[in-house]
Homo-oligomer: A and B are copies of this chain.
Amino acid sequence: MDGQGRALRTRRALIQAAAEVFAEEGFVHASLRAISERAGVSSGALHFHFAHKGALAEAVEAEATEVVRSIIRAARSRPGGILQTVVDATHALMHHLAQDAVACGGFELAGDISRRTNSPLRREWQHWIEESLREAERSGALAQGVCAADAARVIVAATTGFQVLGSADARWLSAQSVTRLWELLLPRLAAEHCLDRLLCAGSGPWTAPPRRAPAPTDRPA
């Protein structure tokens, strides 16, 4: 492995370790020593890649945002209408929150009041749900009398609840939890001609989204 390959691997190990420690301890209590020890790298290597703890948190959030985008791209590439895409994306998001420390850590940071930043992660998810429901409305996939914006808010609230509760108890992130949500929502939400084709359990399986290689640091390792 050449120098740049080693630097990328170190950077990725640090982001992974930071995500785990942030999710366990919260941003304020997470120590750089705990992060470098968990990543198996020296304190000097950590500081070479990340000037301070906030930079590590930003890197975790950026990676988690990329996970959300990959989930959305993968759901969009599947057959089925826009409502099935939304069902699939919610399943895939919960699956990744249960499996992927970086996705989980990114959402934990987004909800960490002590971090005092406006994380783009929840906003990104919310905007995509809103746009998708508007698309469903335009294409006649919503039942009569259902407002896209209102439906989007209910879906965002429920998925945010699963994420928050799931950080302490992974059963909230289970496929069954998400399936039951859609079994209760879709009969009122979806137009009748769509309902028969919609799979509340999603059209998985949900494989890990392909991560983009993390951006290398400006300085060579």
Interface residues of chain A, those whose CB is within 8 Å of chain B, are 23, 25-29, 108, 111-114, 116, 122, 146-147, 150-151, 153-154, 156-162, 164-165, 167, 172, 176-177, 180-181, 183-185, 187-189
With a cutoff of 8 Å between Cβ atoms, the chain B residues found around residue A154 in the complex are: 158, 180-181, 184
Q: Nearest-CB distance from A122 to chain B (Å)?
A: 8
Q: Are A188 and B181 in contact (CB under 8 A)?
A: no
Q: Nearest-CB distance from A205 to chain B (Å)?
A: 22
Q: Are B183 and A28 in contact (CB under 8 A)?
A: no
Q: Nearest-CB distance from A179 to chain B (Å)?
A: 9
Interface centre among A113, A114, A187 (most CB of B within 10 A): A113
CB < 8 Å neighbour of A183 from B122, B160, B164, B188: B188
Q: Are A157 and B162 in contact (CB under 8 A)?
A: yes
Q: Are A156 and B150 in contact (CB under 8 A)?
A: no
With a cutoff of 8 Å between Cβ atoms, the chain B residues found around residue A28 in the complex are: 26, 28-29, 114
Interface centre among A25, A112, A180 (most CB of B within 10 A): A180
Q: Nearest-CB distance from A188 to chain B (Å)?
A: 4
With a cutoff of 8 Å between Cβ atoms, the chain B residues found around residue A108 in the complex are: 113
Q: Nearest-CB distance from A203 to chain B (Å)?
A: 21
Q: Nearest-CB distance from A87 to chain B (Å)?
A: 14
CB < 8 Å neighbour of A180 from B25, B116, B150, B162: B150
